[in-house]
């Protein structure tokens, strides 16, 4: 359905038809004092030219280097066709598909997306997406509290190996709703959670255990043991995953000895969303069928119209605000339609084998990078656990200073971890995806060697 | 005109109550309620053993267009819930006073049953709402 703005004449004739003089008259129920608010603290508008220039300058700051930073957002190659198709007007400016008769294209794409997500995660149902991985985790926590009726404590066990931003967002969204987060430490040698560390909570009322895979350090957690612990203790298991990694790792639907994870969330950015200085990305949320009525977000279903033809609609809508109001499963009533469209096209173009190739190549490149870097004196891996496509390295010098010097040489070397984990001083989280060639890895290794020598001499 | 059996008690919020004379009430929603809601797709019931106070929202019935709270008519404890409704919520539409019962309460004060509405009073409420 195309969008055509009204002309002054259109507006005039509509007002005449309903017998109203001016549009403002339609708002006369709103008190004058509320209507005349001036927005003093907001700067005056800027022209398109000025804004384009400003944005260009800002994005230039994030460009111009070989990117070896992961930490939740990953540079992957996106085939040209993905955004060529995604930016077609029919997808790009489509509105929320509340009217199925006018939105079959949009609804079908989302249905396909949901199907792909359940396939990747091994879960029964997926929603149409949320804002991002971090808020998806917060929604999963709220969902677990609603769904786990046997638990009264609203207590969530949150490993410190979960992405620091995700933990912060979950806290911001959930802490005022009577939900307590208990931190679970990770083993300092392995970089993963030892299931024995959960013993303190055995037999206590635990509502859910969050299980990252891979975790923030790229390390692989013992998901089977953790899932089983959760279920044995009457807690729901919430998986937090990188969807790309699911091409090579066991899917959360099969974690543990029983039914697998109960709720799975993740960040969809690796599937067709450019880094774009931080967003927009999209949140993935999947669950077991028995919890579907507690799941937030839109869900597209397939059904038949009165002529018996297949069609798609938004379904299970009584979960949502326009029906349940304050008792809805979430205050969020939208999804990241454009990003989901791109992800669906991206996955379709790559195919299952292509997605697996990307994952495998990323793992191999990171391994090669780590070998080259640890060959440098004083650079060593911090954690022993096997990892996906990123890992933490300790440097013989101040990590932030090293990263700055590397950036001057056109290498974005990674993320310094000291700010997030006291105890991980001089540590950098590095990641090499399939976008890096052997030559790129050598550029990093040579640059790091040179920088470390410089810094040692300057000391 | 909706069905309103004479031998049951009622609430303003369209629940019916059948007291067995021995401390237990069976509760459901009336024919008028099920017809207003439309086809039910889901019924969310409390756990047995839950203690409830009169007026507490303790269940939800969900149709394609609305989700409605169900209120405890009396103080007591949930003795039993109608498990059939998990797979067949439509029983509430088809047989609201029979197979579509929602839950049973062991009432803490059997005398309070007297204070519920009788069929005639409830009929008046329904007539007013229908106008």
Smallest CA–CA distance, residue A335 to chain B, in Å, is 21
Residue A64 has pLDDT above 90, yes or no: no
Chain A residues within 8 A of B64 when measuring between CB atoms = 317-318
Tell me the angle at which helices A438-458 and A337-374 cross, rounded to the nearest 10 degrees.
60
Smallest CA–CA distance, residue A149 to chain B, in Å, is 9
Mutation to test the A interface, candidates B67, B68, B69, most A Cβ within 10 Å: B67
Give the pLDDT confidence score for residue A16 in this predicted structure: 96
B27 within a domain of the structure (yes/no): yes
Q: What is the distance between the alpha carbons of residues A395 and A392, in angstroms, rounded to a whole number?
A: 10
- What is the mean predicted confidence (pLDDT) over A61-85? 94
Give the pLDDT confidence score for residue A438 in this predicted structure: 97
B67 and A149 in contact by Cβ < 8 A?
no
Chain A residues within 8 A of B86 when measuring between CB atoms = none
Q: Quick one: tokens of A411?
A: 């290498």
A152 contact B CB<8A: no
Domain A82-344: CATH architecture, name and number where available: 3-Layer(aba) Sandwich (3.40)
The CA–CA distances, whole Å, from B11 to A158, A255, B114 equal 45, 48, 12
Residue B2: burial class (beta carbons within 10 Å; 0-12, 13-18, 19+): middle
Chain B residues within 8 A of A318 when measuring between CB atoms = 41-42, 62-67
Mutation to test the B interface, candidates A317, A322, A323, A328, most B Cβ within 10 Å: A323
Strand, helix or coil at B29?
Answer: strand
Chain A residues within 8 A of B63 when measuring between CB atoms = 318
The CA–CA distances, whole Å, from A53 to A212, A275, A276, B16 equal 40, 20, 16, 68
Give the pLDDT confidence score for residue A95 in this predicted structure: 77
Tell me the helix, strand and coil percentages in chain B, rounded to 5: 25, 35, 40
A318 and B44 in contact by Cβ < 8 A?
no
Domain A352-458: CATH architecture, name and number where available: Alpha-Beta Complex (3.90)
What are the phi and psi torsion angles at A201 (to 5°)? -100, 0
Residue A309 has pLDDT above 60, yes or no: yes
Chain B residues within 8 A of A317 when measuring between CB atoms = 64
The partner residue sitting opposite A293, judged by closest CB among B42, B65, B66, is: B42
Q: Which residues lie closer than 8 Å to A366 by C-beta, 6 or more apart? A: A218, A387, A388, A389, A390, A391, A430, A431, A432
- What is the mean predicted confidence (pLDDT) over A31-49? 86
B3 within a domain of the structure (yes/no): no
Q: Which domain holds residue B76?
A: 9-117
Buried b (16+ CB within 10 A) or exposed e, A228-241: bbbbebebbbbbbb
Chain B residues within 8 A of A327 when measuring between CB atoms = 60, 67
B41 and A318 in contact by Cβ < 8 A?
yes
Among B79, B119, B118, B74, which Cα is nearest to B102's? B79
List the 385-424 stretch of A: residues with Cβ below 8 A of B: none
B81 within a domain of the structure (yes/no): yes
Among A307, A322, A339, A300, which Cα is nearest to A130's? A339
| Domain coordinates in residue numbering, chain A | 82-344, 352-458
- What is the mean predicted confidence (pLDDT) over A376-390? 97
Residue A270 has pLDDT above 80, yes or no: yes
| Cα A131-A347-A263 angle, rounded to 5 deg | 45
pLDDT digits (tens, 9 = 90+) for A360-382: 999 999 999 999 999 999 999 99
Give the pLDDT confidence score for residue A1 in this predicted structure: 56
Smallest CA–CA distance, residue A98 to chain B, in Å, is 14
Lowest mean pLDDT among A27-36, A286-295, A314-323, A392-401: A314-323
Residue B1 has pLDDT above 70, yes or no: no
Give the pLDDT confidence score for residue A258 in this predicted structure: 84
Q: Looking at the 3D structure of chain B, how many domains does it have?
A: 1
pLDDT band at A2 (very low <50, low <70, confident <90, very high): low
- What is the mean predicted confidence (pLDDT) over B112-131? 90
Smallest CA–CA distance, residue A323 to chain B, in Å, is 6
Q: What is the distance between the alpha carbons of residues A425 and A397, in angstroms, rounded to a whole number?
A: 9
B122 within a domain of the structure (yes/no): no
At B13, which CATH number? 2.40.50.100
**A142 vs A90, more confident:** A142
pLDDT digits (tens, 9 = 90+) for B18-61: 999 889 999 999 999 999 999 999 999 998 999 999 999 999 99
Among A389, A128, A112, A368, which Cα is nearest to A246's? A389
C-beta neighbour count of A191 within 10 angstroms: 25
pLDDT digits (tens, 9 = 90+) for A196-211: 999 999 999 999 999 9
B41 and A293 in contact by Cβ < 8 A?
no
B41 within a domain of the structure (yes/no): yes
Q: Which residues lie closer than 8 Å to A312 by C-beta, 6 or more apart? A: A100, A104, A107, A108, A110, A111, A300, A301, A302, A303
A327 and B67 in contact by Cβ < 8 A?
yes
Rg (CA), chain A: 25
The partner residue sitting opposite B47, judged by closest CB among A149, A317, A318, is: A149
Residue B97 has pLDDT above 90, yes or no: yes
Q: What is the pTM of this model?
A: 0.87
Chain B residues within 8 A of A293 when measuring between CB atoms = 42, 44, 62
Smallest CA–CA distance, residue B107 to chain A, in Å, is 23
A200 contact B CB<8A: no
B106 within a domain of the structure (yes/no): yes
Give the pLDDT confidence score for residue A60 in this predicted structure: 87
- What is the mean predicted confidence (pLDDT) over A130-159? 95
Chain B residues within 8 A of A323 when measuring between CB atoms = 65-67
Residue B72 has pLDDT above 90, yes or no: yes
């Amino acid at each position: 359905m195309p969008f055509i703005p009204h002309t002054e004449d259109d507006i005039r004739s509509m007002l005449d038809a309903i017998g109203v003089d001016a549009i403002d008259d339609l708002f006369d129920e709103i008190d004058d004092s509320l209507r005349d608010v001036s927005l003093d603290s907001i700067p005056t508008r800027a022209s398109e030219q000025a804004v384009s220039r400003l944005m260009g300058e800002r994005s230039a700051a994030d460009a111009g280097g070989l990117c070896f930073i992961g930490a939740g957002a990953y540079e992957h190659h996106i085939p040209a066709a993905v955004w060529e198709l995604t930016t077609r007007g029919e997808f790009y400016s489509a509105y929320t598909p509340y009217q199925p008769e006018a939105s079959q294209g949009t609804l079908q794409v989302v249905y396909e997306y949901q199907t792909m997500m359940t396939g990747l995660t091994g879960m029964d149902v997926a929603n149409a997406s949320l804002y991002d991985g971090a808020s998806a985790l917060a929604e999963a926590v709220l969902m677990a509290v609603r769904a786990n009726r046997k638990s009264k404590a609203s207590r969530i066990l949150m490993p410190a190996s979960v992405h620091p931003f995700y933990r912060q967002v979950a806290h911001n969204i959930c802490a005022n709703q009577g939900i307590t987060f208990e931190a679970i430490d990770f083993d300092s040698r392995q970089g993963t959670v030892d299931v024995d560390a959960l013993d303190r909570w055995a037999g206590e009322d635990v509502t859910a255990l969050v299980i990252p895979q891979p975790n923030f350090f790229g390390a692989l957690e013992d998901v089977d043991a953790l899932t089983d612990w959760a279920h044995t203790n009457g807690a729901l298991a919430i998986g937090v995953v990188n969807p790309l990694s699911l091409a090579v790792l066991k899917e959360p639907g099969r974690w543990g000895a029983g039914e697998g994870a109960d709720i799975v969330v993740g960040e969809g950015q690796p599937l067709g969303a450019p880094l774009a200085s931080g967003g927009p990305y999209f949140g993935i949320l999947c669950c077991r069928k028995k919890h579907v009525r507690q799941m937030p977000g839109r869900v597209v279903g397939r059904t038949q119209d009165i002529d018996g033809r297949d069609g798609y609609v938004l379904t299970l809508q009584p979960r949502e605000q326009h029906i349940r109001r304050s008792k809805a499963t979430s205050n969020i009533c939208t999804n990241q339609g454009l990003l989901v469209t791109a992800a669906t096209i991206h996955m379709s173009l790559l195919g299952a084998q292509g997605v697996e190739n990307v994952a495998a190549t990323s793992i191999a490149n990171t391994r090669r990078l780590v070998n080259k870097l640890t060959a440098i004196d004083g650079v060593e891996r911090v954690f022993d656990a096997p990892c996906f496509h990123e890992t933490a390295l300790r440097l013989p010098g101040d990590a932030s200073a090293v990263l700055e010097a590397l950036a001057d040489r056109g290498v974005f070397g990674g993320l310094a971890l000291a700010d997030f984990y006291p105890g991980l001083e001089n540590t950098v989280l590095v990641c090499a995806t399939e976008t890096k060639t052997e030559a790129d890895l050598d550029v990093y290794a040579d640059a790091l060697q040179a920088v470390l020598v410089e810094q040692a001499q300057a000391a | 005109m909706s069905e309103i059996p004479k031998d049951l008690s009622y609430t303003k919020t369209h629940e019916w109550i059948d007291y067995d004379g021995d401390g237990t009430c069976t509760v459901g929603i009336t024919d008028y309620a099920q017809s207003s809601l439309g086809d039910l797709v889901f019924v969310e019931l409390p756990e047995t053993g839950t203690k409830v106070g009169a007026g507490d929202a303790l269940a939800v019935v969900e149709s394609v267009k609305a989700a409605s709270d169900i209120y405890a008519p009396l103080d007591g404890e949930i003795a039993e819930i109608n498990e059939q409704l998990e797979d067949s919520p439509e029983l509430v539409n088809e047989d609201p006073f029979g197979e579509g019962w929602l839950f049973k309460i062991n009432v803490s004060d059997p005398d309070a049953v007297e204070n519920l509405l009788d069929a005639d009073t409830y009929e008046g409420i329904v007539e007013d709402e229908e106008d």
